[in-house]
A and B are shown apart, each in its own frame.
Chain A
Amino acid sequence: MSISVKTEGFNSPLLRKAGREIKKPERVIGIILLALLVFFVFMPLINIFQTAFTFTLSDRRLPQVVLHGLKAIPGNFTLVHLERVFYSDVSKNMFYKPLLNSIVVTGGLTILSMLIGCILAYLVVRTDLPFKKIIANVATIPYVIPSWPIALAWLTLFKNQRIGGSQGWFQYLTGIAPPDWLSYGPVPIIICLSLHYYAFSFITVSGALASIDSNLEETGALLGANRRQVMSKITLPLVMPAILSAFILTFSKGLGTFGTPAFLGLPVSYTTLATQIYSAIRNNLPGDAFIIAIIMIIISGLTIYMNVKVIGARKSYVTISGKGFRSKPMNLGRARWFIFALVMLFVITCIFLPLYVLLYQTFMEVNGDYSLSNFTLHYWIGAPNTIGKSGIVLGEGQAGILRNPDIWLTTWNSIRLSITVSILAGIIGIFLGYAIVRGRGTKLASACDTFSFAPYIIPSIAFGAVYLGMFSRPIGFFPSLYGTFALLVIVSLAKRLPFSSRTGSAAMMQIDKSLEEAGTLVGAGFWTKFTKIIYPLTKSGFVAGFMLSFISTMRELSLIVLLVTPETKILPTMTFRYTEGGYHQFGDAIAMILVFLSLLGIYIIRKYQGTDMAKGIGD
């Protein structure tokens, strides 16, 4: 790398040219990263486009092909999928209705989760709410729980007789059957997803709020602004970048979510774009699927574009300068305990209740019987072929999960994958952040920024399928990676790129350039500066990013499902198979293991690093 080349004594004009300039490591890193991004992000994107506009073997039986008498030669260019999605007699139910539903659900969940997240963040960071430290920690738990168990918990609580079967808790306790709109469809989807995704805005906004000097607000108050004016004229604009950033994260992620809408939407035939993609892929219509995927990518892209437009150059950042600032908590006055009670109610019903329901279910011998006599430990530690109290063979004769050697292997795989991915994601994130922040304003930097965000808006299922196709064969010097642990790591890393680059940029943003230049002056090379100055200073961001990656890799499912082999399978694939097969107790128990591992991970990292997760996606 030319970053360490000495200038004097070069004769080759090319090298002289490289040496002539101030060595700009961000350039070299940027170029390397861009090459990687093109390979790991742009190529899959091309692949998606390619699939969307070419015939596959399966397309020979499309009504449009049959009717028009087309010759669907696999691999040939076609617009038939475009026609099907936008302009055919199935467009309405395949695309337009799900599109509307997706917008309703995603819009609803984004607004609701932003509301919850922002209010909670404000209460925890800026007021004298009792026990706010604990609340702040607990509030990040929903991020740890995969989103679909919340949907399952919802069903357990609120299902009514529409889908038959046993009663939900609500009906069991009150005797009143919840109405359909409460049990299924957009309302519960929005609520369940919000309970998961509010963590985004909570984490981001509380990070931003924590860095606001309360002098700024007090000045406003001194000038005669009332609380509401201070809030809307000073505080809100200051955290706006963070809020919008959280908005994008929530919106794009929500748009691509499949599990929860499937669980809660299907009973009332409520479809979204994500479920349509799933359906099309499952029915061997990848062309249809990828056209819809492209639409989703465009929608997400538009929200990002609007966000960039809105924030524009106003983005302001905190820098590490060693100067302190005051942050005086707002006095809630008499409302203090009342608000505390409300927050506790939220914490209990929305965070602990789902967890509790899931946990409880793992101890239920037969579904739907909530009495104590139905208690069993079988699904955790039972021997194979145990016959339960009611005389039935529990779990179709399968042993409890802690006795299942497969689970242990899988758990180990999950841990291994999560740790590897999160370490690498952290490192790549810092390099990306370096290239993006230090190269600000250059085309290279914005290319890195843009590409690294792209995986965010490619649906996971599509991403996994593309990777399977791409990396199962050797590409140049790159050997086939199929069946290797490395492939899982790579695909997870690629999918994590948006997060990594965001955390990395946020961390780099906080380091004044002069800190680095001071190193240059005394002769520190790039590597020395990186290890001695940049890394130590970005460590908190790095660790926070590490935690986020750890958690999300731990629960990643659709991305990986096609890529795992028996040796490399991981926990989420197992819990999904169990749940799909109707073994709820096993599925829930494995989900609990997932949650436990994530919390354990966070605990360990916090203990040894003393870092807040909040710093991770703070922007």
Chain B
Amino acid sequence: MSGKVKIRIENLSKIWGTTKAIDNLTMDIHEGDFLTLLGPSGCGKTTTLRSIAGLENPTEGKITINDKVVFSKKDEIYIDPVKRDIGLIFQSYALWPHMTVMKNVAFGPTIKKLPKDEVEKLTMDILEKVHLEKHAHRYPNELSGGQQQRVAIARMLIAKPGIFLMDEPLSNLDAKLRLEMRSEVKRLHQEAGTTTVYVTHDQEEAMTMSSHICIMKDGVILQKDTPEMLYRKPADLFVADFISNPKMNFIDGEVIRENGKAHVNAKGFILPVESDLIGDRKHVKVAFRPEDAELDQNGVAFRIETQLPTGPAQINNLINEHCTVTMITKNYIRSKPGETIKIGIKPDCHNIFDIGTGKRIF
């Protein structure tokens, strides 16, 4: 999937007063990528997006788009947003309330002084594409949230940008509509293969839509990877915890060395480890996904506290004197709350983290 580099960000920093919104950020975004910047609010994801767009003036660093430097602090380069081959959808959509749908979409071409009939044709084509041709003469506040969203998309599309930038575009929609629009945005990306940078704080959204996700915290990239890798192999405890629904299981583990071989005893779960990676650590954090726990006669005993059937699966909250574990099973287990069951962890499905740095060991 990864083609040539479409956007290259080098050593980007943005400082507001004394706080660093972005801290020396470097990353490449490739042609055709659907890259999502994911993180809690204030992590710098929107600032990064806006810096790419040229709406923010970074304090340090360099941004290259299509091999052309669009921003460089050192060389004092700043290229206008309109010349950066980008389109942006704002969280608030930023539809001009005093203009009709038609005028909103046609604004760009109009001020570029394209012939009137051409603008009209172009606009109608785009509106048709987003199924809004019937609403061309309405005002934004006469549209539903989803329709407003589509106007914003149409307004972005009309300039035929090579890069889509989207700043939490779905956050203002209700749950059902959000799902619908998710597919629509994804289809949009797939149809044209346009490089997309997408900002959200919703991990599910990120997981379902992206080709790559970039987890940010305090202006720093914690991990940039495919959704699967992010899920399977989170780079640190923060990522592991952030990408989880329901919560990932974290259990303190003790490294036990016998006969030159090491294993971890995590409150009864015995997990093999590679000695050279584990080094001389005594304590580690063991993490595994709820779906990676399974019934195991030789496992650790837990009492079932609650059971939450979700339809396709069952969430079991388990507890013993040492820890709590969440387990998801496809098949409903027969034991009832209050009863005791024994569970283990599926092979190779656990991650082990350093307690001090929080980084994944393996």
Contacts and interface: CB of A to CB of B under 8 A. Distances in A.
Interface of A: 7-8, 16-17, 19-22, 320-322, 324, 512, 514-515, 517-524, 528, 532-533, 536-537
B92 interface: yes
Nearest to A524: B111
A11 B97 CA distance: 41
Interface string B287-303: 00000000000000000
A525 to B, nearest CB: 8
Interface in B135-157: 140-141, 148, 155
B76 A20 contact: yes
Interface in B76-116: 76-83, 86-88, 90-92, 94-98, 107-108, 111-112
B226 to A, nearest CB: 29
Nearest to A536: B98
Contact of A523 (B78, B112, B140, B148): B112
B177 interface: no
A9 to B, nearest CB: 11
A523 B109 CA distance: 9
Interface residues on chain B, size class: 20 to 34
B265 interface: no
Interface of B: 53-57, 76-83, 86-88, 90-92, 94-98, 107-108, 111-112, 140-141, 148, 155, 159
A10 to B, nearest CB: 9
B92 A7 contact: no
B108 A7 contact: no
A514 B94 contact: yes
Given A17-B76, A514-B92, A532-B107, A322 B55 contact: no
Contacts of B108: 522-523
Contacts of B92: 321, 512, 514
Given A21-B78, A520-B82, A523-B112, A320 B97 contact: yes
A507 to B, nearest CB: 13
A518 to B, nearest CB: 4
Main SS of chain A's interface residues? helix
A524 B96 CA distance: 14
Nearest to A522: B108
A518 B77 contact: no
Contact of A515 (B56, B83, B91, B96): B96
A403 to B, nearest CB: 48
A521 B82 CA distance: 5
A518 B96 contact: yes
B155 A7 contact: no
A21 B77 CA distance: 8
9 contacts: A322-B140, A514-B92, A518-B155, A521-B53, A521-B81, A522-B82, A522-B112, A523-B81, A537-B97
Given A20-B78, A517-B55, A518-B96, 15 more contacts: A21-B78, A22-B56, A322-B140, A512-B94, A517-B94, A518-B94, A518-B155, A521-B53, A521-B86, A522-B111, A522-B155, A523-B81, A523-B108, A533-B96, A536-B98
Nearest to B148: A322
A83 to B, nearest CB: 46
A21 B155 CA distance: 26
A522 B80 CA distance: 10
B78 A7 contact: yes
A7 B77 contact: yes
Nearest to A519: B107
Given A522-B107, A536-B98, A22 B54 contact: yes
Contact of A22 (B57, B95, B98, B111): B57
Contacts of A537: 96-98
B57 A21 contact: yes
B90 A517 contact: yes
A537 B140 CA distance: 14
A143 to B, nearest CB: 28
A542 to B, nearest CB: 13
Nearest to A321: B92
A536 B107 CA distance: 14
A19 B76 CA distance: 8
Contacts of B95: 322, 518
B148 A522 contact: no
B111 A528 contact: yes
Given A519-B107, A523-B111, A22 B77 contact: no
Nearest to B107: A522
Q: Most chain-B Cβ atoms within 10 A of its Cβ — which of A16, A22, A519?
A: A22
Contact of B80 (A7, A517, A528): A7
Contacts of A322: 95, 97, 140-141, 148
Contacts of A512: 92, 94
A536 B56 CA distance: 25
B100 to A, nearest CB: 12
Contacts of B87: 521
Contact of B82 (A19, A22, A523): A523
Contacts of B53: 521
A517 B51 CA distance: 13
A139 B54 CA distance: 49
The 3 A-B residue pairs with the shortest CB-CB distance, nearest first, are A523-B82, A522-B108, A514-B94
Contacts of B148: 322
A539 to B, nearest CB: 8
A500 B77 CA distance: 37
Contacts of B96: 515, 518, 533, 536-537
Contacts of B140: 322
Contacts of A7: 77-80
Nearest to A16: B76
B28 to A, nearest CB: 23
A518 B86 CA distance: 12
Contacts of A519: 107
